[in-house]
Chains A and B, each alone.
Chain A
Amino acid sequence: MTALFASTRAELLRLTKWRVTWLLIAVWLTLNVTFVYVIPYLSYRTGGGGEITDGQSPESLLAEMMPTTLAQSLTQGMPLFGGAIMLILGAITVGSGFGWGTWKTVFVQSASRSTAFLGTLVALAVVVVGTVVTTLAVDAGLSVLVAVTEAQPIDWPPATDLAAGVGSGILIFGMWTAAGVLLGTVARSPALAVGLGLVWAMALENLLAAAANLLGGLEPITDVLPGRTAGSLAGSFGGGGTPGVLTILGGGTAGLVLAAYLLAFVVISLTLIRRRDVV
C-alpha cells in the first residue's frame, strides 16, 4: 500500500507538471461550456429553433440550462468529444513513456511494475475525478448565471441525481481513459494509440452500428460497444438528440457494462505491462 501511495504521488507530480494534462482539461471545459451553455443560450436569445440546437423551442433550451438539469448538462458532452479527450489523455500518458524510455527508469525505481502502473492508473483516476468535479462546478456556476440573468428560480436537482450524474461522468471518462491506457500499452507509442482510439471512437463504432442496422440481428452487440454504452448512460439523464447521447440501454445496465469495460481494460493493460519485455 505504501509503495502504491509512493507511485501515485510520483505520477501525480509528473502529470500535474505536464502542460498537456491541463491543455486537455481546458479543451474539454471549453467544449462543454460552448455546447452546453454558450450555443444554447445564443440560440435561446435569438428565438430558438435553429439547426444547431435540433430545432428546440426557446423554453426547452432555457429549461436545459437551469440548475435543476445539472446532471444532464454535466454528462451530455462526455460520450463523444469528452470521451475522445480522455482517451487521448490515457493513450499519451502511457504510450509516451515507451518513446521517452521513462518506463524502464520507473520500473527500476519502483517496488514493482504492478505498483508503478497502478500508481499511474490511480493518478489518472484523480485527474478524471478532478475534471468531472470541476466540470460540475463550472456548469453549476453557469446554470446559476443563466437563471439569474433570465430571472428564473434557482432549483437544484435532488442530491441523489447529482451524485448519479457525477458517478456516471466518472464512469464514462474513466472507461475512455482506460481505453486510452490500453491502446498506449498495446501500441507502445502515443501517436498510434491516439490515432487508433480516435478512429474507433469517432468513426468505427458508428459505422458498425449502421452496418448492424442494415444486416439486422447484430444490434445486441453494437448496442453495447463502449461509445454507445457511454451514450446510453448519459442519455439516462436526458439530453436525447445531443450527438453521442443515446437511449438504447437503461442507465443501470449501461453503468454495469461501462464498469465491466473499465475493469477489462485495466486488467488487460496490467497483464501486458507485467509480462512483456521493456525494451
Chain B
Amino acid sequence: MTSTIVSTDRLTKRYGHRLAVAEVDITVRSGEIYGFLGPNGAGKTTTLRMLLGLIAPTSGSATVLGYPPGAVATTGSIGALIEGPGFYPYLSGRDNLRVMARYRSLGADAVDSALERVDLSTRGADPFGSYSLGMKQRLGVACALLGDPRLLVLDEPSNGLDPAGMADMRTLLEDLAAQGQTVLLSSHLLGEVQETCDRVGVISGGRLLAEATVAELRGATSLLVRAEPAELARQVAVRTVGHDAVHATADGLRLLGGSDAAPALTEALVSAGARVHEIRQVERSLEEVFFEMTNAARPITERTPS
C-alpha cells in the first residue's frame, strides 16, 4: 500500500482581494514523482511555499510527512528548491552547502556527494555570485539533496539549464524516484513533466483543474482518417465504430478510441470505393491537454491560440 506523503485539504491563500490559491486538494504518494503544472502566476509556488511552512494558509490545511508544514519533526526529511536558489553571494558554492549542511549537522561527505550529483564538484570553490543561472540552479538542487531527504520539493528545477543540463535533471529525478524518494516538482515544461512524472496536478488561476496520471490526462488514443469522398468516408466510419466515436475535424475524421479498428476500417473504406490518403494513430500530448484545460479556465481574451 502506498502511503501519502503530502496532502492538502481546501488549501487557500489570499493576499488582500487577490486569491492566489483557492481550495486546492492534492495528494502526493510515497515514491512517486508528482508534477505540479500550471502557467506563470497559477499558484504553484504559493502552494509549495505553504507546504514548506514559509507562508501560512489563509484557510484550509496540509500535512507533509504526517505533520503540519514546517513541523520540527520533519526536519531533515524535506529538501527544497523554491523560486530560485537563495545563497550567500560572497561564499563559494561549496561553502554555501557547508553552511546549509551545518543546519542539519551534516558533514563534508554530504556536501561533496551533493555537489557530485549535480556535476558541480569542479566549480565548488568558485563564489556563488559568479555562477551562471544554470549553475545556481544546480547548486539549489544540490542543497535540496543534502542528507537524502524523503521528500524533495523542487520549484521549476530546470530553469536556466541548457538541454544537456535538463536531460541530466530528468535522469537525476528518475534516479531519486528509483531510490524511493518522493519528488514534488512544479514546472511549466510540459515535455519534462510528461517524460518524468507519475502523476500530475494541473493548476490555473489558483484552482486545481485536475489531478491524475499522465496517461489518464492524455486520454485514449484515436485514429485520424483522411479519405475521399469525405461524406462516404464518414458514413463508413460511423458504420464501423459507431456514431458517437466519429468527429469531423479540419484535418479529417477523428475516431476516438478506435485504434483497434484500423484494419477493418481500411478494408471497409476501400470496399466502399473511397480513396484512402491516411489512417494513423493519434495521441494527445500533455501539452494539448494542458492548453485545453488552462484555456478553458481563463477569460476568453487571455486564451492561448490553438
> Nearest-CB distance from B73 to chain A (Å)?
10
How far apart are the CA atoms of A119 and B100 in the complex, in Å?
A: 13
Contact yes or no, B98 A100, CB < 8 A: no
How far apart are the CA atoms of A147 and B89 in the complex, in Å?
A: 46
Contact yes or no, A13 B104, CB < 8 A: no
Residues of the A chain whose Cβ atoms lie less than 8 Å from the Cβ of B143? 105, 109
Cβ-neighbour of A10 out of B78, B79, B86, B102 (below 8 A): B102
Residues of the B chain whose Cβ atoms lie less than 8 Å from the Cβ of A119? 103
How far apart are the CA atoms of A6 and B75 in the complex, in Å?
A: 13
Q: A108-B78, A277-B56 are in contact. Are A103 and B86 (CB under 8 A)?
A: yes
Residues of the B chain whose Cβ atoms lie less than 8 Å from the Cβ of A11? 99
Contact yes or no, B85 A17, CB < 8 A: no
> Nearest-CB distance from A18 to chain B (Å)?
6
Q: A2-B105, A106-B103, A109-B143 are in contact. Are A100 and B88 (CB under 8 A)?
A: yes
Cβ-neighbour of B104 out of A102, A109, A112, A278 (below 8 A): A109
Contact yes or no, A107 B53, CB < 8 A: yes
Residues of the A chain whose Cβ atoms lie less than 8 Å from the Cβ of B79? 108
**How many CB-defined contacts (below 8 Å) exist between A and B?**
91
> Nearest-CB distance from B204 to chain A (Å)?
21
Main secondary structure, interface of B, reads loop
Contact string against A for B residues 71-108, beta-carbon threshold 8 Å, 1 for contact and 0 otherwise = 01001001110111111111100010011101111000
How far apart are the CA atoms of A112 and B53 in the complex, in Å?
A: 10
Contact yes or no, B86 A104, CB < 8 A: yes
How far apart are the CA atoms of A103 and B88 in the complex, in Å?
A: 10
Interface membership of A7, Cβ < 8 A: yes
Contact yes or no, A14 B99, CB < 8 A: yes
Residues of the B chain whose Cβ atoms lie less than 8 Å from the Cβ of A2? 105
Total chain B interface residues with beta-carbon distance under 8 A: 32
> Nearest-CB distance from B164 to chain A (Å)?
26
Interface membership of A101, Cβ < 8 A: yes
Contact yes or no, A100 B99, CB < 8 A: no
How far apart are the CA atoms of A100 and B91 in the complex, in Å?
A: 12
Contact yes or no, A108 B52, CB < 8 A: yes
Residues of the A chain whose Cβ atoms lie less than 8 Å from the Cβ of B91? 14, 17
Contact string against B for A residues 1-37, beta-carbon threshold 8 Å, 1 for contact and 0 otherwise = 0110011011101100111100000000000000000
Cβ-neighbour of B70 out of A10, A101, A105, A112 (below 8 A): A112
Interface membership of A116, Cβ < 8 A: yes
Interface membership of B55, Cβ < 8 A: yes
Cβ-neighbour of A107 out of B54, B88, B89 (below 8 A): B54
How far apart are the CA atoms of A100 and B56 in the complex, in Å?
A: 21
A-B contact pairs, 29 of them (CB 8 A): A2-B105, A3-B75, A6-B103, A6-B104, A9-B102, A10-B100, A10-B103, A13-B99, A14-B95, A14-B99, A18-B88, A18-B90, A100-B87, A100-B89, A101-B85, A105-B85, A107-B54, A108-B52, A108-B78, A108-B79, A109-B100, A109-B146, A110-B104, A111-B72, A112-B70, A112-B72, A113-B70, A119-B103, A278-B54
- Chain B positions near chain A (C-beta within 8 angstroms): 49, 52-56, 70, 72, 75, 78-80, 82-91, 95, 98-100, 102-105, 143, 146
